Every structure is written in structure tokens, then in C-alpha cells.
């Protein structure tokens, strides 16, 4: 959907190259039964500019990849309980962050070094950003589109998706 809405910006196509990464190239069964076929295993994944961590289970190998890849990425962002993965590898230590509201208490207890923000739809710390539940992730993704390609492109993308943005951002 995001790709369809992107148009030429300053003489170049505004787009992201999207791919999935997992510990192995084997299909991954998600909660609810959805099966995702990773495009790359962590061992052969190219260095991303933007990393999006969804609500997921993780392995030691995927956490090691996340920590190493995020050190070179321009933006590492999480959606929903993906914030747990960012916190587990230390990316949120000392920073404000958010996660899905049903998990605020557990997150705060497990990660006392993170300054949990209860309420904002997303928190952008520059290189690391977190979003609450699923639709908060859409708002954060549109915010990142705006950072890369300008607010006009982000607004056009939201309109194409028929998404009414809620740009409530934490500190």
C-alpha cells in the first residue's frame, strides 16, 4: 500500500525496498497461523536503512542480528510488542518508548532502564522509534515516510490508504 502511494519526489521515485529477515530461510509461523516466507536469513541479509520490528517471538540469533544491524541503520522502529525486542538488546535504555497498552505494566517491570510513555501513539527518538498497537504503527510508518520524503508524500500516502492520521507523539 505504501509503495503504491509513493510518487516522484525531487526528480526521484520515493520508495522503500521491502524485505523480511528471519533466523533461517524457512517459513515462519506467526501467531494466528499466518505463515511468512523470509526473503533473507540473518546470515545473508543486506544492511537495511530502516528496520521494522513487529510483535514477534525472537531467538538469540535474531536478537544478535537486530543489535548489529540497528547500529548501522538510520531508523530502527517497533510496532506493538516489538518494543520488547528493542529493549532486550538495549536499544531503548535511557530512552522514552511505548508499546501496546495491554503490556505497559509487564514492559515497565521487565525494562526499568526504559522510560515508558503511557499514552502517545508513538515515540520517535531519532534513530529508534516505538509505536503502540497496530494502527499506531501505521501512524509511525507515515511519520517515517514524512522524514524521508516530506510531509506532502506522507499525507498523500495516508489519503491513498484512506487512513486518518493521529500524530500524537511522545517526548
pLDDT in tens, 60-113: 989 999 999 999 999 999 999 999 999 999 999 999 999 999 999 999 999 999
Q: What is the CATH number that goes with domain 49-170?
A: 3.40.50.880
Biggest distance spanned by C-alpha atoms of the chain:
48
For the chain, give every domain's residue range.
49-170
Residue pair 137/161 in contact by the 8 Å Cβ criterion = no
How high is the mean pLDDT of the chain?
89
3-state secondary structure (DSSP) of residue 23:
coil
Amino acid at each position: 500500500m505504501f509503495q503504491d502511494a509513493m510518487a516522484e519526489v525531487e526528480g526521484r521515485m520515493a520508495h522503500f525496498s521491502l524485505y523480511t529477515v528471519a533466523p533461517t530461510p524457512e517459513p515462519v509461523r506467526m501467531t494466528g497461523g499466518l505463515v511468512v516466507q523470509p526473503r533473507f536469513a540473518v546470515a545473508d541479509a543486506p544492511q537495511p536503512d530502516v528496520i521494522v520490528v513487529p510483535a514477534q517471538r525472537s531467538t538469540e540469533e535474531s536478537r544478535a542480528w537486530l543489535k548489529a544491524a540497528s547500529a548501522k541503520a538510520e531508523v530502527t522502529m517497533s510496532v506493538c510488542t516489538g518494543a520488547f525486542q528493542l529493549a532486550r538488546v538495549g536499544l531503548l535504555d535511557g530512552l522514552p518508548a511505548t508499546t501496546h497498552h495491554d503490556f505497559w505494566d509487564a514492559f515497565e517491570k521487565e525494562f526499568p532502564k526504559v522510560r515508558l510513555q503511557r499514552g502517545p501513539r508513538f515515540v520517535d527518538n531519532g534513530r529508534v522509534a516505538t509505536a503502540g498497537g497496530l494502527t499506531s504503527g501505521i501512524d509511525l510508518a507515515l511519520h517515517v515516510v514524512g522524514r524521508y520524503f516530506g510531509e506532502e508524500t506522507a499525507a498523500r500516502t495516508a489519503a491513498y490508504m484512506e487512513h486518518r492520521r493521529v500524530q500524537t507523539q511522545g517526548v
